[in-house]
Structure 1
């Protein structure tokens, strides 16, 4: 049976590592076996005292330590929406460096959360629930504009995931909210226009359009857990505060994060099972 890792990109914010550990614990409880929370970068900068005295694990030192203890076979379950370069490049490069250091390890990577072209309707359902949760404190008698917001990517295949999810959400909305899209980051130039509007640009457009009336906006957070953009004191909160200050008629709510929905664990289990079965392994599940 492989050593299972729940893998995220990593963050220098303690809340991100603590959230990853929470998801790993929940996944381990369902599987009945250990799941190791491992980040690909950044998390090693977080002081251990900010993480209950236990330093964050990043991939390369984790693999070296586990290999020294005799482990060779690993399954990485990624907390990524699309085919990020972190999955397609960073993990293979890290495994190659570990091999150069001596240990021969095998790291299988399960599918991302929303593999295209088939997509993942259950992920869209999670996002719809999170948007509706944020809507509860708004006046549903007036138009509600939702913005599906992701990190933004220089890779069209990653941004295509947000576009696919937005298409599903437009069906799930059933007229209760209108849906647009925005990104937190976009490289300059026409080559990266596929990312669409930045969040501050989208809020600016809504604010100007509704300058003489109250506008209700929900930020649909296509983020797993807290970090530089998401969570308390993240960039999303700051951009929303700036938009409210400029357009007093803007009433903005921020949705819960994807990692707060229990249905995410079902998806992660399925991704792990699919990868294991593809290589002829036994089921990971020891109980329901």
Structure 2
């Protein structure tokens, strides 16, 4: 039996809806790559769905393993305090789920390299 997997791209959220556009593009790209059975967005505040809502929905759809990817540049207070508490609550609600937490996307060497390459490219355009 195949374990159904999901990815949740977790962002801070903002009052301006266009703020989520890069995360939506990342979600759509992951979906086109079939990186998981389900790929969803979730937000800490200001936007929907919240992380608890997204995790509950994925559990309802029969997803058994979920990788939460923080779309943050680094491990700040939200990732050190708020996110672990939200995940603990979700694990208590859905003990059957295997919820995994990735490091902040901005800490990945490939992302750091991409940011540096972008800055270098912009500097050469002057």
TM-score for the superposition, normalised by structure 1: 0.40
* Structure number, greater radius of gyration: 1
Gaps of 5+ in 2: none
Q: Which residue of 2 aligns with 1:273?
A: 120
Q: Does the 8 Å contact 2:7/2:39 carry over to 1?
A: yes
Aligned runs of 1:37-52 on 2, under 5 Å? none
Residue number among 225, 238, 254 corresponding to 2:101 in the alignment: 254
Q: Which residue of 2 aligns with 1:263?
A: 110
For 2:116 and 2:67, how far apart are their aligned partners in 1?
30
Question: What's the CA shift string for 1:143-179, capped at 9, x where partnerless?
Answer: 01211111111122221111111111112235x4321
Question: What is the deviation of 1:214?
Answer: 7.5
For 1:162 and 1:197, how far apart are their aligned partners in 2?
13
Q: Which residue of 2 aligns with 1:94?
A: none
For 2:33 and 2:78, how far apart are their aligned partners in 1?
26
Residue number among 76, 87, 112 corresponding to 1:227 in the alignment: 76
Change (3 A) 1:218 1:275: same
Change (3 A) 1:214 1:166: closer
Structure with the larger RCO, 1 or 2 (CA within 8 Å, 6+ apart): 2
For 1:214 and 1:173, how far apart are their aligned partners in 2?
15
How large is the RMSD of aligned CA atoms in angstroms?
2.2
Change (3 A) 1:235 1:142: same
Gaps of 5+ in 1: 1-139, 187-194, 280-288
Aligned runs of 1:81-230 on 2, under 5 Å? 141-174=2-35, 176-186=36-46, 195-207=47-59, 209=60, 215-230=64-79
Q: Does the 8 Å contact 1:149/1:199 carry over to 2?
A: yes
For 1:258 and 1:220, how far apart are their aligned partners in 2?
7
Question: What is the deviation of 1:270?
Answer: 2.1
TM-score for the superposition, normalised by structure 2: 0.84
Q: Does the 8 Å contact 1:214/1:251 carry over to 2?
A: no
